[in-house]
Amino acid sequence: MKQICVFCGSNPGADPEYVQATRELGRVLAARHLTLIYGGARVGMMGELANSVLEAGGQVIGVIPQSLADKVAHTGLADLRIVNSMHERKALMAELADGFVVLPGGFGTLEEFFEVLTWSQLGLHHKPCGLLNVNQYYQRLAEFLDYAVTRQFIKAEHRDMLLIDDDPGKLLDKFDDYQPPLVDKWAA
Query: CB–CB of 163/129 below 8 Å?
Result: yes
Provide the whole-model pTM.
0.95
| Weakly modelled stretches of the chain, pLDDT under 50 | none
pLDDT for 181: 82
For the chain, the domains span: 3-176
pLDDT for 188: 56
**Beta strands in the chain, from DSSP E residues, in sequence order:** 3-7, 35-38, 60-65, 79-83, 99-102, 129-132, 162-165
pLDDT for 185: 62
For 1, counting Cβ atoms within 10 Å of its Cβ (0-12 exposed, 13-18 middle, 19+ buried), the class is middle
pLDDT for 182: 78
pLDDT for 186: 61
- State the architecture of 3-176 in CATH terms: 3-Layer(aba) Sandwich (3.40)
